[in-house]
Amino acid sequence: MRKSIALELEPEVIIEAVKKMKKRQREAFLEDLLASTSPDYLASIRESRADYRAGRVFEHEEVFGS
């Protein structure tokens, strides 16, 4: 069951809160925000993380040369 909460926040309040986040928290928040509005993006992140865990990664030089 999906639940929602209606909030009335000025954009400036949200922007200020995001600015106060530490870099890692801010990046995670923005990724989550983007993912929540884009199922394709979320699927690509899941696929990338699965590839990384499975060792399906390449060094920069392997892909682009030296």
pLDDT tens, position by position, 13-52: 999 999 999 999 999 998 888 888 888 988 888 899 999 9
The DSSP element (H or E) to which 65 belongs, if any, is none
Q: Kindly state whether residue 11 falls inside one of the protein's structural domains.
A: no
Does the pTM exceed 0.75?
no
Q: Kindly state whether residue 45 falls inside one of the protein's structural domains.
A: yes
Q: Kindly state whether residue 15 falls inside one of the protein's structural domains.
A: no
Q: Kindly state whether residue 9 falls inside one of the protein's structural domains.
A: no
Residue whose token pair is 């030296």: 66
Residue 46 belongs to domain spanning: 22-64
Q: Kindly state whether residue 56 falls inside one of the protein's structural domains.
A: yes
How many domains does the chain contain in total? 1
Q: Kindly state whether residue 5 falls inside one of the protein's structural domains.
A: no
Residue 57 near residue 51 (C-beta atoms within 8 A): yes
Q: Kindly state whether residue 44 falls inside one of the protein's structural domains.
A: yes
Q: Kindly state whether residue 47 falls inside one of the protein's structural domains.
A: yes
